[in-house]
Structure formats: structure tokens, C-alpha cells
Structure 1
């Protein structure tokens, strides 16, 4: 029995999911101040050519996914349909999506995918993208959303999610997907799995600024809309220049390889 099957009856009969904490019945692991809860982020899109990976679902994402799964199950949807709808409902949205699209287009991912813009990954070409997190299920530290500390590779309950769940997704998607880790903490998880031979280096498109609005200056410089001389001391332009160059080179290599295979 998989996790969604195990928790589906509980999800379906719940009056609703709101606020904090999540129901104790959904607690999957507890390690010191770390708590991992179940929320329906199990669905894997096997057709995906690009995988966008965050760090872990936050409380709001978890609540949205649980409520959508509850709605689908009560309406008579199959377990697979309920999982898919729950995952799609809770995926990236808001200003983060706009920033992400701009940076993906800037490095040439849309050319590799054969679409006009990566904006289509969120509408007409959603079948090409898989959304996930390094930690598939929501993790909280002393009741707050986990944001990368302690290191996910330093704690057994977190490393287990990477070695089991994220690794499972990579194996399912095979060598045909490229991976976009959002932030250095997520990149560390991919480096860990790359060292195990699950990924080729050119598949991992790391180094982009996180698309959060809090990273506005780094994003603007990465996109070339803000000059080096106008940057604050908090932004390292050399690091961003190096990342941009490497990402564009990776995309050019992948696009060339894809054209040769056609």
C-alpha cells in the first residue's frame, strides 16, 4: 500500500484542512525538532522533459493539496486522479512563476523544449513539466516551514526522503528530463544523487537565483535588466555571471544533442 492509499480514507472524511498544525494522524516522522507530515505530493508526470524542484512543500501548499485531494475523493475520483489534481493545484504560482519563466527563457530552455516560451509549461504544455521538492512531504522545524537548516543531508528523516522519494522520481523520469533545483540547498540534494550515478551533470541546471520576490536584485542582474554598477553589496555579480554562462552552455549542448537525435 502506498502513502496515498494509506491516508486517503482519513483525507476524505476530514471536515477540511486549515491552519497549523496539520492533523497528528498525518505525522510520518519525528526527529528532534523536525516533523514530517503526509500531504499528497506523490504524483509523478512520466512524460516530463523538465522537472522544477523546490525544497519542500510549505504549510499553505500542503493545506491546498490536502483539500483538493479531499474534494476529488468525495467527488468519486480515482486515487490516481485525486493525486494528480492535488499536486497540480498546489504547484508554483504567483510572482515566483513570472520570475521563473523569465529566467528559464533567458537560458534557452524554451528552445530545447520546442516552445515559444516556458510560460506554456503552465498551460498548453503542462505535460512537459513535473513539479516536485527535494523533500517530497512537508517538513517543519519547531512548527515552522523548513527552509534548509539543518542540512537535509545531515538528518536521517530528511536524507531518507531524498534517497527514496526524489531518487524514485528521477528513476521514473529517466535520462530524458532536465532538472532545475531552486536554490543552493536543493542543488546539494541533486549533487548527492548525481554522485550516486542517477544523473548526468548536464541534466542539472543549477545556479539560477531563487525565483522568490525576495531575490529581485539577483534576478534582475541575471536577466541583464540591472547593471553591475547598480548592485548592492549583498549581490555577488561574479557568481551570477558564472552561473548564467554555464547554464546557457548546458542548454546549447542539450538543444544540439536533441536536434541530432531527431
Structure 2
């Protein structure tokens, strides 16, 4: 079992002058977990695991903005005298799927019947009263920067021992606590990483839900077509309708099978 790192960083978090940190290169050396060549990994207090979670939303890695938000929330919680568990929970959930990405994501989950499997009216409540049903995660728990920029999936994590070790040390530890949860990858790089973990026996392949379009605004057309809000004939050449149709059919069948099991 991976021990909590948070106690080793409490004082450093309290003393952070976040206003003076304008980019990854300015993150104090105290928070550096590892470095290999052009790649660095820095501590973030994202160690909370929700043992009741039935779905795990898996991003690729926290970015610099998320690092600052989590540190600011940790400072606020610590200043208010919150216990360690509350600090870690608040740090991980603050800012999760905020802005326009949230309604897109809720609509996508509801479209495949996730709310029925969970026994709730809509997945919108996963960010409120039903938050106990979800774990917000990242396959790389701690921020990773390549040449001082947020890691975006290149080079591929499964091909780099440095990143593979990080996935196995941190994310696999979470997954071991949630063996019956469903895993929803946010993006192709994460999907590849989860498939690799399935081959390694860390998670079950039938618990991975492949094919949901990423709910970001940059992916608006794919989301709209998946949801039936845009006709096939109106799609741009950049959107592969056949691929989206196949993914939707597979996901609906997978959710039906899960509901019957």
C-alpha cells in the first residue's frame, strides 16, 4: 500500500506564496517528486480515494492550473483547521469538471444510461448530492510537465518506464481499492493507459467504458453528434460519424449488459 505523502508536504503547502508562482518552472523544488530528462513530476494533494465510488472518471494528469487551485484550497482548509481527510477530499474535488465541460459530460453519461445503472435521476447529481458515487482521478496522479508544459500524452506513458512506474505506484493503488467500479477514460491517451493496466491485471477490461467523446468545448461537434443534436449530413470532414456510431452502440450494449448482471 502506498503511504500518504501529504504529511510530508503540509508545512511546505502552508508556506507557499502562490501569487509568485506563474508557471511550472516556478514550482518550488520541494515539490519535485521525480525528474527524468525533459520530464518532471510534482506533488499535488490528490490522494483522496472515495471507497464508495462506483465510477472513476480518469483524466490524463493534473495541469499547472489544477496544481495552483488544489494548493490554494489546501491552504484554505488548513487555515480553517480542517482534518487531513477533509483537506485531501476538498483539494481533489475543487474545480473538478467546472465550466462548460460539466453539462456536456453529464449529457454524455445520461445518454448511455449511466444514471439508470447508478440508480439516480441524472448524472448531474454526481457533482452534488451523489458525489459519493464518483471518484475524480487521473491516470498520472501528480502533475507531469514536459519541457515545462503540461503533459498531453506525448510521449506515450505506457512506453516510458518513468511514467509507467508513476501509474503503477499511484493510480494502480487507487484502482485496487475500487475493483468493481467502472472506469471512464477522458481521451485516447488515457484509454490506451487503462488498456495497458488491464493487460497488467490491475483493472478488469470489462469495467472500462471506451468511446465517449471528450466533453471539452474543443470537441463540441463530436459531442453534439453522439448526443443526436447534430445530423450526420451536417458534420465537418474532421468528424468520423461511423466511428462515433460504433462507439455509441458498443457503450449502450455494455451498459445494458451491466444493468442485467
Root-mean-square deviation (CA, aligned residues, Å) is: 1.2
- CA distance in structure 1 between the aligned counterparts of 2:30 and 2:94, rounded to whole angstroms: 23
Deviation at 1:181, TM superposition (A): 0.4
- CA distance in structure 2 between the aligned counterparts of 1:191 and 1:113, rounded to whole angstroms: 24
Structure 1 match to 2:7 = 5
Residues 1:20 and 2:20 aligned together = no
- CA distance in structure 2 between the aligned counterparts of 1:16 and 1:233, rounded to whole angstroms: 44
Residues 1:223 and 2:227 aligned together = yes
Deviation at 1:202, TM superposition (A): 2.3
1:182-204 deviations in whole A, cap 9, x for unaligned?
11100011101111223222211
Structure 2 match to 1:212 = 216
Deviation at 1:74, TM superposition (A): 2.2
Structure 2 match to 1:181 = 185
TM-score, with length taken from structure 2: 0.95
Q: Is the 8 A contact 1:62 1:90 kept in 2?
A: no
Q: Is the 8 A contact 1:12 1:71 kept in 2?
A: no
Aligned pair count reads 256
Q: Is the 8 A contact 2:4 2:47 kept in 1?
A: no
Q: Is the 8 A contact 1:48 1:173 kept in 2?
A: yes
- CA distance in structure 1 between the aligned counterparts of 2:140 and 2:31, rounded to whole angstroms: 16
1:192-220 deviations in whole A, cap 9, x for unaligned?
11112232222111111111100011111
Could you tell me which runs of 5 or more consecutive residues in structure 1 were left unpaired when the two chains were aligned. Answer: 258-262
Secondary structure in 1 aligned to 2:165? helix
Structure 1 match to 2:258 = 254
- CA distance in structure 2 between the aligned counterparts of 1:152 and 1:198, rounded to whole angstroms: 16
- CA distance in structure 2 between the aligned counterparts of 1:200 and 1:242, rounded to whole angstroms: 22
TM-score, with length taken from structure 1: 0.94
